[in-house]
Amino acid sequence: MGILKDCINNNNIDSIPIWFMRQAGRYLPEFREIRSKNPNFVELCLNPKISKEITLQPLKRFLFDAAIIFSDILLIPYALGQDLKFEKNFGPKLGNLNLENILNISDKEILEKLKPVYKLIDITSKDKILKNKDLIGFIGAPWTLLVYMVNQKSPKKTLNTDIYKNVNNKYLLEKIIYTQKLHIKNQVESGATIIQIFDSWAGLLEYKYYDKYIYNPTQELVNYVKSLNVEVICFPRGINCYKEYCDIVKPNVISIDYEVDPALIAKEINIPIQGGLDPKFLLLDKKEMLIKAKKYLETFKNHQYIFNLGHGVLPETNPENVKILVEFVKDFK
């Protein structure tokens, strides 16, 4: 059992556990070197040997307590037969949505496409660098995947209103949830010790639709992960009702974004908390960065807390700042 699990289960731990979203990524020169030789991002995610190397790169540099697999939430639409590519300076582009084909695709076809991810988890979980550390698998939340599949690109601040109007999206959502369960099960069976659910676009949804698109679908997946005896972390980025979310969805851990007041979270929520620090603070000088970090450490001093960011590491982040911050957190008493 890793220190993340110990923290979640309220076991005695010697230091605050720490890992970062996108800790394996563009801020590391060793990742950029690999990326320059592998321009097709989807193919890179589906290369177990190279993805393992990328997954473990940050653990070779820093005292992180967990690895998160190098993969992408959009491999679910890809597995369901929707074309997927990533364009430089644009992001993901998804192909036309053929609902009939998606609804009729078989489990065998889905798992065949995702098999490299499970191979990645299997070979990574056996690496000695992960001794006493957790290996985090993940999925995108149903709402966020629905947004990508219908919008066919990153929505940023604009949303295709067909999501609300099209009755067929009920069937698409059901297929997404079913496929996510397959993906979760195979990740856990391959060696993932924790699952995180990323609801990256939760903040775009009108509150009146929360039950239909966020609370009920995510709760179904949380219950499924728990049925596999694995802890589940939820990251509903951009919502302004974390307490209500926790009361309804009931994750083992709630991961907070950088726009929420940590003091309010500490007061209102009694389950383990993760994250919160603005990734832009890692671009500050050492002294200012550590002042910002200490605020979170002090706020959650008497709470089960996993130190993380309120979103992913920014590409322009200096790895030296990551090293300084990780050591500061590990030494904090």
pLDDT (tens digit, 9 = 90+) per residue, 237-250? Answer: 999 899 999 999 99
pLDDT value for 12? 86
pLDDT value for 87? 86
Burial class (CB within 10 angstroms; exposed 0-12, middle 13-18, buried 19+) of 233: buried
* Pairing between β-strand 253-256 and β-strand 231-236 as defined by DSSP bridges: parallel
Could you tell me which CATH class the domain 3-331 is placed in?
A: alpha beta
In whole angstroms, what is the distance from residue 333 CA to residue 329 CA? 9
In whole angstroms, what is the distance from residue 136 CA to residue 190 CA? 11
Mean pLDDT of 218-226: 98
In whole angstroms, what is the distance from residue 219 CA to residue 143 CA? 12
C-alpha neighbours within 13 Å on the C-beta side of residue 209: 12
Q: How far is residue 288 from each of residues 19, 243, 292, measured CA to CA in Å?
A: 20, 30, 6
| 320: three-class secondary structure by DSSP | helix
Q: Quick check: 69 and 137 in contact, CB under 8 A?
A: yes
pLDDT value for 240? 87
- Residue where the block lists tokens 């299997």: 122
pLDDT value for 291? 98
Does the structure show a pLDDT above 80 at 132? yes
Number of other CB atoms surrounding residue 140 within 10 Å: 24
pLDDT value for 182? 98
Does the structure show a pLDDT above 80 at 146? yes
pLDDT value for 189? 98
Q: Helix 216-227 vs helix 242-249: angle between axes, to the nearest 10 degrees?
A: 50
pLDDT in tens, 159-206: 766 677 777 789 999 999 999 999 999 999 999 999 999 999 999 998
Nearest Cα to Cα of residue 313 among 7, 19, 27, 16: 27
Specify the range with the lowest mean pLDDT, choosing from 87-91, 216-220, 228-232: 87-91
Q: Quick check: 274 and 254 in contact, CB under 8 A?
A: yes
The four Cα atoms 59, 32, 37, 47 give a dihedral, to 10 degrees, of 40
Percentage above 70 pLDDT, the chain: 98
**Domain regions of the chain by residue span:** 3-331
Give DSSP secondary structure letters for 80-99: TT--EEEETTTEEEE----H
Q: How far is residue 31 from each of residues 26, 211, 280, measured CA to CA in Å?
A: 6, 39, 20
Percentage above 90 pLDDT, the chain: 89
pLDDT in tens, 275-322: 999 999 999 999 999 999 999 999 999 999 999 999 999 999 999 999
Average pLDDT, the chain: 95
Give DSSP secondary structure letters for 222-275: HHHHHHTT-EEEEEETT-S-HHHHHHHH--SEEEE-TTS-HHHHHHH--S-EEE
Mean pLDDT of 99-118: 97
Q: Round to the nearest angstrom and report the end-to-end CA distance of the chain.
A: 22
Mean pLDDT of 134-153: 95
Nearest Cα to Cα of residue 121 among 61, 79, 73, 68: 68
In whole angstroms, what is the distance from residue 180 CA to residue 146 CA? 12
pLDDT value for 158? 67
